[in-house]
Chain A
Amino acid sequence: MRTTPSKESYFLGKGFEELVGKKLDQFHTPAEMEEAIEEKLGRKLKSVSLDPEKMRKQSEKIIEQSRLLLHNL
C-alpha cells in the first residue's frame, strides 16, 4: 500500500546523529542504536513496553483534550 505518501520529516534522526556523533547508516539494528546512545549518555534508557489498548485510549483522550483546547484558544 503506497497511497499515503509521508511528508518530509526534517527532525527525525537528526538529533540522534548529533548526540551520538555517527550517521544512521552506520547502524544495522535497533539494538546497536540503543547501545550507542546508552554509551553516550552513560546510563540505560527507559525501556517501555506498549499496550495497544492503552495507546488507543491515550490517543483518544489526547484528541478529546485537543478539541477542548482548540475551542478555548
Chain B
Amino acid sequence: MTDRENNPYKFYREIVEPMYAELLRQGIKLESVTEKNTKALNALARADSKDSQNAQSDYEIAFWFIVDAGFDVAQKIAVNLSSQANEILSDKEKTKWCARAPKEKVTEEYKNALKAFEAATEKATISTPSEREAAVYLFKEAATAYKVWIDLFDPELLEDFKYFHLKNAVRIHGVGFIVGVLASVTAAFIMM
C-alpha cells in the first residue's frame, strides 16, 4: 500500500495533518475534517478486509475523502491568513511603522501571496477530484506565502500598534491643547 501514488496515509500525514494542526492552533476546528476522515477510515477498513485487487477502489475512495478534508483545511487557512494580511495592509500607518523590511520587499512578497491565492481560488472553482487535489497544494502555497509576508512585520508592534497610535494621538493633541491654552493666556495678558 505504501508505494501507491494515491496513498491516503501519506497525504494525510504530509499534507492534511500539519495544516489542520495550524488551524487548531488558531482556535478553529472544522466539522468536515472529522467527518471526512471517519469516512476515509471506514473505506480503509473495508479495503483491509479484501484481497489487494478488490481493495483498490476502497483505497481510492479513502484517498479522495482525505483530499476533500485537506481542501477544506487548506482553503480555510489561506482565507484566514489573507484576511489577516489585508487587515495589516489596509492600515497605512501600521504597514509603514511595523514592517521590518523595505517597502519594495513588502510589496513584492504581497504580490507573490496574492498571485498564489488567485491561482488556488481559480482552481477551487473546478470540482473534479484531481483539480481539488491540485487546489490543496495551491492553497497551501498561498497560505505559506501570506505567512512569509506577515512575518515581515514585527509581531509585538502589530499587537501594540493601536495603543501606540492612541498614545501618540493623545500626545499630539495634548501638546496642541497646552499650546492653545498658553497662547490664550499670553494673548489675554498682553491685552490687559
Question: A residues near B, CB below 8 A?
Answer: 1-13, 15-17, 19, 24-25, 27, 29-31, 33-34, 37, 45-50, 55-56, 58-60, 62-63, 65-67, 69-70, 72-73
> Which interface class (under 10, 10 to 19, 20 to 34, 35 or more) fits B?
35 or more
Cα(A17)–Cα(B155), bound, Å: 20
Q: Which of B112-152 contact A (CB under 8 A)?
A: 114, 117-118, 121, 124-125, 130-131, 133-134, 137-138, 140-141, 143-145, 147
B95-119 near A? 1/0 per residue, CB < 8 Å:
1000000010011001100100110
Complex contact A34–B34 (CB within 8 A):
yes
**Residue B168 lies at the interface, judged by CB distance under 8 Å to chain A:** no
Complex contact B21–A13 (CB within 8 A):
yes
Contacts of B17 in A (CB 8 A): 13, 24, 27, 30, 33
Q: Do A7 and B29 form a contact, CB below 8 Å, given A34-B24, A48-B76, A73-B107?
A: no
